[in-house]
Chain A
Amino acid sequence: MSRNVPCLRWHAFHTHKRGNAPDEYEDAFACDPAAARFAVADGASESSFAAAWAKLLAEGFVAANGQPWRRLDWLAPLRQRWAGEVDPRPLPWYAEEKREQGAFATLLGVVLTPGSWRALAVGDSCLFRLRGGKLGRTFPLAHSSNFGNQPALLGSRGRPADAPPPGIHRARGRWRPGDRFLLMTDALAEWMLRRHEQKQRPAEDIDQLLAESAPQDAFADWIEERRNGHGLRNDDVTLVVIDL
């Protein structure tokens, strides 16, 4: 059914937290325009091997068969893959202890079908639907005060089999040609909502980025400008823009 989505132009951007090395980026994103599935994930900085877990989650959501927003049976094989990657490594005592605790990440995924969309979120990565350049639907958070440093997270070690992961949100809605979807990790999402609450039209900032001759190259500077002058929290940033 996704073949019928007449989409779709999309862009994905990412940059690392200022002060960190580029390879310390722990967000992730995955895009499958043919299947009209997109996801972003944010590895929790206090956990280890979080970048690998965030990547598995984003890619796992996009590649999942059927309806990934319903049963999360696609998580179990991802957990096995994560463990397969990290468990054999010899590590010092502290890294071993962190590995035992598992890695954690937020996840936001969306699946588009003709005229409608469905999304799943764990934590504070957000989806925004813009129509006519105006912010319409926001999911799962709706206000900048909803962000904190302890979001709901998906763990790589899993929970007992009969306990579903806590903090899963699901949403669905309709879209029209000309709509724009934004998927972003928490720092940019918080900034987006705060600027909107201040009547600052943050959607126009996104237009400005996309109007650059080389938006990918401009992204890091675009972010840095907003960190310096417009209250964007210093963190890894990931943004996926989907135009319908």
Chain B
Amino acid sequence: MPYSAEINRTNPTCFVFLVDQSNSMLKPFGSQPDKQKAEGVADAINRLLQNLILKCAKSDGIRDYFYVGVIGYGSKVVSALGGGLAGQTLVPISSIANNPLRVEQRIRKVDDGAGGILEQRFKFPLWVEAKAAGRTPMCEAFKLAKQYLEVFLGRFAGCYPPLVINITDGMATDGDPRQDAQALQKLASSDGDVLLFNAHVSTAQTLAIEFPSAEAALPDNFAKLLFRMSSKLPARLFDAARADKFPIQPEARGFVFNADLVSVVRFLDIGTRVAQSVR
């Protein structure tokens, strides 16, 4: 069965994040209109990286189950990793964990277990800053991701298929991105084709849409285009999503509209998971 390779330190898999940093990202973010889309996107990618790291964090350090690349596309198409990782392409997740740009102190409200609310301080690391400049060269970003993955697949030919996660407001300015998306999805390990998932960040103040199986309910043509470019959820991810009570239908695709894709990180199997309901 495809998409069943064990993910471990000798056979890691890979995430490539494509982050739209174009000028259109200055507009307000639909689900939080007081924020710019660029801030929503930076939050999304930083949360994804955090969740990947936490998935690999053990008491004795980080286990390198994942390699990670972050490509920003706007005025340039380049690695968006900064600080100690500036200019690097794919790096093990432990390098990401140990090289944030900075770690902010934030506060969250938690249930104190006795009917009250507690304020809890926590550390919030950042790797990618909000940025918005230039056009939207999404095709070129797909081409660069393909180069990253060709190198990775050359080294780990039997890996769980790499995942490409594209976070964008959907308007490519350098052509029809479908062809480059397909070229990316044709790359494969012996366990299956590369997966492309898209997170559409929109100004539309509509309800979030997660893992739809048809495009009819999507609010605009950009969303529909991104939906068509998104891979179907492999069976085990589909089952994990169902187990997490996502109301998804067969043929569900790795596409979300004004929602984040952190759940995809949760669905990946690296061992016994702690269900949300147990936490």
Q: Which has the most chain B C-beta neighbours within 10 Å: A97, A186, A235?
A: A97
Q: Are A94 and B62 in contact, CB atoms less than 8 angstroms apart? A: yes
Q: Which of A45, A52, A97 contacts B54 (CB 8 A)?
A: A97
B270 touches A46 (CB 8 A): yes
In the complex, how many angstroms separate the beta carbon of A88 from the nearest chain B beta carbon? 13
Q: Which of B59, B111, B114, B273 contacts A44 (CB 8 A)?
A: B273
Within 44-63 of A, Cβ neighbours of B (below 8 Å) are at: 44-49, 52
A101 to B59, CA, bound (A): 12
A197 within 8 A of B: no
A212 to B56, CA, bound (A): 38
Q: Is B55 an interface residue (CB 8 A)?
A: yes
Interface size class of A (residues with CB under 8 A): 35 or more
User: Does B57 contact A98, Cβ atoms closer than 8 Å?
Assistant: yes
How many cross-chain pairs have Cβ atoms below 8 Å apart between A and B? 91
Please give, as numbers and ranges, the residues of chain B lying within 8 Å of A99 by CB-CB distance.
Answer: 59
CB-CB nearest in chain A for B244: A150
Once the chains bind, are A166 and B277 in contact (CB under 8 Å)?
Answer: yes
Residues of B contacting A149 in the complex (Cβ-Cβ under 8 angstroms): 240, 269, 271-273
A47 to B275, CA, bound (A): 11
Which residues of B are found within 8 Å of A94, using beta-carbon distances? 50, 53-54, 57, 62, 97
Q: Is the CB of A44 within 8 A of B271?
A: yes
CB distance from A141 to the nearest CB of B (A): 15
Task: Tell me which residues across on chain A come within 8 A of B55, comparing CB atoms.
Answer: 46
Contacting A at CB under 8 A, from B97-122, are 97-98, 100, 103, 111, 113-114, 122
Which B residues touch A47, using CB under 8 A?
Answer: 274
Cβ of B177 within 8 Å of any chain A Cβ, yes or no, is no
CB-contacts of A85-99 with B (<8 A): 86, 92-99
B residues lining the A interface (CB < 8 Å): 6, 8-10, 50, 53-55, 57-59, 61-62, 97-98, 100, 103, 111, 113-114, 122-123, 125, 240, 243, 269-275, 277-279
